[in-house]
Structure 1
Amino acid sequence: MLRLIGHRIAMSIPLLLIVSLIVFALEALVPGDAARTILGENATAQSLAALRDQLGLNDPWTVRYGDWLAGAFHGDLGTSIISGVDVSSSLSTRLGVTLSLLIPSMLLSAVAGIALGFASAVRGGVLGRFIDVVSLLGFALPGFWVALILVAFFAVQLDLLPATGYQELTVSPGGWLKSIILPVLALSLHGITAVAKQTRDSVMEVLEADYVKFLRANGVSERSVRYRHVLRNAAIPVVTSLGLVSVGMLGGAVFIENVFVLPGLGSLATQATLDHDVPVILGVGVFFTLSVIVINLLIDIAYGLLNPKVRVS
């Protein structure tokens, strides 16, 4: 297991380099720059040229990337071109908001998805068909569209929850809970349906296995068959689905934060992209890449715990 962790960490270094290089190169190809953002559309050519020279924007993008990379290797992600704030400080300030959105969404997707999928598989009938229909709807409906529907119904029509905004957990636990309910529901809907569908399919496949029939024929209780044998052996595909859902939520959080005006990393990345604030864009990109690496590592560890053959290999 330690060997696996070491291998994943070693592989993360070239991945981070590739992602940061792609982000930097793409930003260099986009029309406009931070100088234009700072001075506005009415700025003169002379003032733009002077500011670009001051900010180092006239240097080739390869030189600027090399400077950023040298700092990143020493733990310095740079300074925002627009605000002048240290990028690491900006990320740490907004990280709590994004985690308040992602962690409950992932937990809700896992718990509700597995429970619905398992119940659908062992009971079948109307519940099974209902899960199939809801899964198709969950896959088909875009997250931002679901978010708008939730806002229109729960915030506008019923006036039960705030439509936008965020409150810190440490300031008002009740206000924090109200501010994340709709964003979490919007972000987790696709995850719940995806996990439920995968759980249902996996459990139904295991239920048809010969060893399950053998266990039942030998008088093993149905509860033991379902929860001790079936659920465990159906878990690996479900864990894979949870990993894919979690990675997808990282991208979905960007849209959800903008819809609900949450001051998290997603909205920070959006504003930085509009402002051509390259250090901030790179900082957020590094964070999301590290998150994907950690999620994949956790999935690999879960494989080893669930299947000894995987652990040995």
Structure 2
Amino acid sequence: MIPFLLKRIASGVVLLIAVCAVAYTLLFANGSSIARNIVGDQASEAQVVAKEVELGLDQPLPIRFANWVGSAVTGDLGRSWFGPVTVADSLTTRLPVTLALIGTAMILVTILATVIGTTAAVKRGWVDRAVQIGAVIGDAIPGFVLAIVLATVFAVQLGLFPAVSTIAPGAGPEAWIASLTLPVIAIVLNYVTASAQQIRSAVIQQRDRDFVRTLRSRGLGEGEILVRHVLRGAAPAGLTVLSLQFVGLLGGAVILERIFALPGIGQLAVTSTVSGDIPIVMGVVLYTVLIVVIVNLLVDLINGWLNPKVRVS
């Protein structure tokens, strides 16, 4: 298990460095334009050069990236170009909002999809047909459409939830629950049927295998076979789908945070990109890729624990 873990960690580190290197190169490829955009079109060449020196843009790109990596390893991601706040402070105040949104939604999706998908696989009746129809509908309706409808009906028209997020520093759990309920529901409605469809297929495949028939011939009950053997065999496929959905939600959170005015990293990424605050953008890239690497590592570890063949391969 240790070699398996070390290989996954090494591949995650390589992915993190590669993505950050590509993003850094694309963002900092033209240093003179960056300095000119910050000081304004009316600034003199001397002011532009002074700003380049201040930001370190006068150094070669590989050296600048190496310096950024060295600082990032120590937790120093620099400061915003348009404010006194540090990049780390900006991200740490907004990251909990995004993680609470996606984490809560994925926990609910996992529970509901497992129950619905397993029931559909075992009963093979109206529940099975409803799951398949729901998966098609869920794929056809974009998540942001559901979010807009929920916000219009339950926040604007009925006033049951705040139309604009009330999450702020020092806000109590009531503000978090009220602000996150509608976007979480939008995510769950958009993802649960598709996830249930995948789990249904995996459970059906496991129940048709020879070892299940052998267990039945030995007198084991259907409930024990389902919980201890079938679901364990079907778990890797379900976890893979859920991990991909989690990664997709990191990008989709930008739209949801804009619709519900949530102060998450998606909202921060949009505003920083528009203003050209590249240190903030690089911080968002780093944190996002790091979250993806951690999620993939956890999924690989769980799959390796459930299926020894994964560890061997």
Scaled by the length of structure 2, the TM-score of the pair is 0.88
Q: How far, CA to CA, are the matches of 1:295 and 1:23 in structure 2?
A: 21
1:44 aligns with 2:42: yes
Q: How far, CA to CA, are the matches of 1:153 and 1:32 in structure 2?
A: 49
Q: How far, CA to CA, are the matches of 1:10 and 1:302 in structure 2?
A: 17
Aligned-residue offset at 1:261:
1.0
One-letter amino acid of the counterpart of residue 178, structure 1? A
Partner SS state of residue 44, structure 2: helix
Q: How far, CA to CA, are the matches of 1:223 and 1:170 in structure 2?
A: 47
Contact 2:101 2:180 in 1 (8 A): yes
Change in Cα spacing, 1:16 to 1:228, as seen in structure 2 (3 Å) is closer
Match of 1:307 in 2: 307
Give the 5 Å matches for 1:27-106. 27-28=27-28, 43-46=41-44, 49=48, 52-53=51-52, 54-57=54-57, 61-106=61-106
Contact 1:33 1:276 in 2 (8 A): no
One-letter amino acid of the counterpart of residue 9, structure 1? I
The superposition leaves residues 146-179 of structure 1 with CA deviations (integer Å, 9 ceiling, x where unpaired) of 2111111211232211222142596322221111
Partner SS state of residue 75, structure 2: coil
Q: How far, CA to CA, are the matches of 1:14 and 1:137 in structure 2?
A: 38
Change in Cα spacing, 1:196 to 1:31, as seen in structure 2 (3 Å) is farther
Backbone CA RMSD of aligned residues:
2.6
Aligned-residue offset at 1:107:
0.4
Match of 2:179 in 1: 179
Match of 2:283 in 1: 283
1:229 aligns with 2:229: yes
Give the 5 Å matches for 1:139-154. 139-154=139-154
Aligned-residue offset at 1:68:
2.2
Change in Cα spacing, 1:308 to 1:255, as seen in structure 2 (3 Å) is same
Aligned-residue offset at 1:142:
2.0
Contact 1:91 1:265 in 2 (8 A): yes
Contact 1:110 1:242 in 2 (8 A): yes
Contact 2:28 2:61 in 1 (8 A): yes
One-letter amino acid of the counterpart of residue 219, structure 2? G
Aligned-residue offset at 1:136:
1.5
Q: How far, CA to CA, are the matches of 1:215 and 1:67 in structure 2?
A: 60
Partner SS state of residue 6, structure 1: helix
Q: How far, CA to CA, are the matches of 2:29 and 2:143 in structure 1?
A: 29
Contact 1:187 1:253 in 2 (8 A): no
- What stretches of structure 1 of length at least 5 have no aligned partner? none
Q: How far, CA to CA, are the matches of 1:168 and 1:73 in structure 2?
A: 29
Q: How far, CA to CA, are the matches of 2:143 and 2:38 in structure 1?
A: 33
Match of 1:25 in 2: 25
Q: How far, CA to CA, are the matches of 2:36 and 2:22 in structure 1?
A: 23
The number of aligned residues is 311
The superposition leaves residues 190-223 of structure 1 with CA deviations (integer Å, 9 ceiling, x where unpaired) of 4322321111111112222233234334433222
One-letter amino acid of the counterpart of residue 213, structure 1? R
Greater Cα offset, 85-94 or 8-17: 8-17
- What stretches of structure 2 of length at least 5 have no aligned partner? none
Change in Cα spacing, 1:62 to 1:310, as seen in structure 2 (3 Å) is closer
